[in-house]
Amino acid sequence: MFGLGITEIFVILIVAVIALGPEKLPTVAVDVARFLKKLKGGIEDAKSALDSELNLSGLKDEANNLKGHMNFERLANLDLDEPKKDEQKPEVKVEIKTEPKGEIKKEETKA
């Protein structure tokens, strides 16, 4: 449950018997079991509330649906560096002029 082996659980039981005594041990064990059950129920409620608020399952289904429709082979072979044959890159000329006050102006013109 918590990564405890049989020897660790046995040592915990021996320490509990020595510390609590055989009279109080059954009632303490019942109280601990109730606490752990309530804690587990609270964690499950929090998980379900968070899942319903975020709608994680719906988002996962939608993402898987989109993945199914994508053409990864076409995207893998797509060359993003070279423009298409019918597409031309516009030329941009940048002129930097200084004003008498020392201010710099940058002008861009597209050809």
Residue 67 has a pLDDT of 79
* 98 beta partners: 104
Residue 85 has a pLDDT of 61
- What SS3 state is found at 7? helix
User: Is 99 in contact with 111 (CB distance < 8 Å)?
Assistant: no
Whole-prediction pTM = 0.41
DSSP letter for each residue of 39-55: HHHHHHHHHHHHHHHHT
Residue pLDDT tens, the chain, 111 long: 567 788 988 898 888 888 888 888 889 889 989 999 999 999 999 988 887 777 777 777 888 888 777 767 676 776 666 666 666 666 767 676 666 665 555 565 555
